[in-house]
């Protein structure tokens, strides 16, 4: 474990190689799992605020779920998570022409239609955060559906923390990320 400011990072963040390979995994992390994507109360409010902007991007089944139960629910761990269609895919997913599962929020953001980004938990995946009273644990979540990403990351030699630079900086800031890079150099024995 490495401590950076008020976070504890597992060694896997530095050691594992990873690059999402959507052509192989098809975005399965947005479909499979025990519950929806974790969101904060602030993200809930932001998404509620832009829902009308992305409504037509959502499937009729997703619209039906949202009309019945809203965009999120509290799961069995007591965590606020995005609602699911048929207990599977997140209500904000859609499938492109190649059958790849993508995020309607992220798509609208990239197109400049909204200023809200997809939930940070989605942006950070496969990193998962656990909040404690004194620190935040930053851990790598190993999942078999991400094996193509591990293979590609190893082939290209890209560590997980480098692949996730943008979301890590979004969550913790540039100064924090620079400290992570310095810690990585020390771990490799570089000066």
Which phi-psi region, left, alpha or beta, contains residue 77 (left: φ > 0; alpha: ψ -120 to 50)?
alpha
Query: 84 and 106 share a domain?
Result: yes
| Domain boundary pick from 60, 92, 117 | 117
Range of the domain at 31: 26-117
Which residues in the chain belong to E strands, given as ranges? 2-4, 7-9, 72-74, 80-82, 84-85, 89-90, 93-95, 101-103, 127-131, 136-140
pLDDT of residue 191: 44
Check residue 190 and give its pLDDT. Answer: 52
Contact 2, 9 (CB under 8 A): yes
Last residue of a domain, one of 89, 117, 145: 117
Q: Residue 140: what pLDDT?
A: 95
* Contact yes or no for 158/19 (Cβ under 8 A): yes
CB under 8 Å to 95, separation ≥6 — which residues? 101, 102
Query: What is the largest distance, in Å, between two alpha-carbon atoms of the chain?
Result: 57
Q: Are residues 49 and 72 in the same domain?
A: yes
CA distances from 143 to 6, 101, 108, 120 (A): 26, 17, 28, 19
**Whether the Cβ atoms of residue 63 and residue 75 lie closer than 8 Å to each other:** no
- 31 with 10, same domain: the answer is no
Phi then psi dihedrals of residue 36, to 5 deg: -70, -175
Walk along the chain (191 residues) in steps of 10 and give the mean pLDDT of each run.
Answer: 93 94 85 86 96 95 96 91 92 92 94 94 93 94 91 95 96 96 84 44
Q: Which residue has the tokens 């479909």?
A: 31
Same domain for 31 and 59, yes or no, is: yes
Instruction: Based on the fold, state whether residues 14 and 62 are members of the same structural domain.
Output: no
User: Do 64 and 35 fall within a single domain?
Assistant: yes
Question: Would you state the pLDDT for residue 114?
Answer: 95
Same-domain pairing of 107 and 67: yes
Whether residues 12 and 67 share a domain: the answer is: no
pLDDT at 188: 80
**Could you tell me whether strands 7-9 and 136-140 are parallel, antiparallel, or unpaired per DSSP bridges?**
parallel
Among 117, 139, 170, residue at a domain's last position: 117
């Amino acid at each position: 474990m490495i401590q950076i400011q008020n976070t504890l990072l597992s060694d896997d963040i530095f050691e594992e190689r990873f690059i999402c390979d959507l052509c192989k995994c098809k975005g399965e992390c947005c479909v499979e799992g025990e519950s929806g994507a974790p969101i904060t109360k602030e993200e809930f409010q932001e998404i509620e605020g832009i829902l009308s902007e992305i409504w037509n991007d959502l499937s009729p089944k997703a619209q039906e779920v949202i009309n019945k139960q809203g965009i999120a629910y509290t799961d069995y761990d007591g965590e606020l998570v995005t609602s699911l269609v048929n207990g599977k895919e997140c209500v904000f997913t859609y499938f492109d022409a190649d059958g790849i599962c993508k995020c309607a929020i992220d798509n609208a953001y990239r197109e400049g239609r909204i200023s809200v980004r997809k939930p940070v938990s989605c942006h950070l995946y496969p990193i998962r955060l656990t909040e404690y009273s004194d620190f935040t644990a930053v851990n790598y979540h190993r999942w078999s559906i991400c094996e193509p990403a591990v293979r590609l990351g190893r082939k290209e030699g890209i560590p997980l923390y480098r692949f996730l630079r943008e979301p890590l900086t979004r969550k913790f800031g540039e100064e924090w990320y620079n400290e992570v890079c310095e810690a990585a150099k020390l771990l490799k024995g570089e000066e």
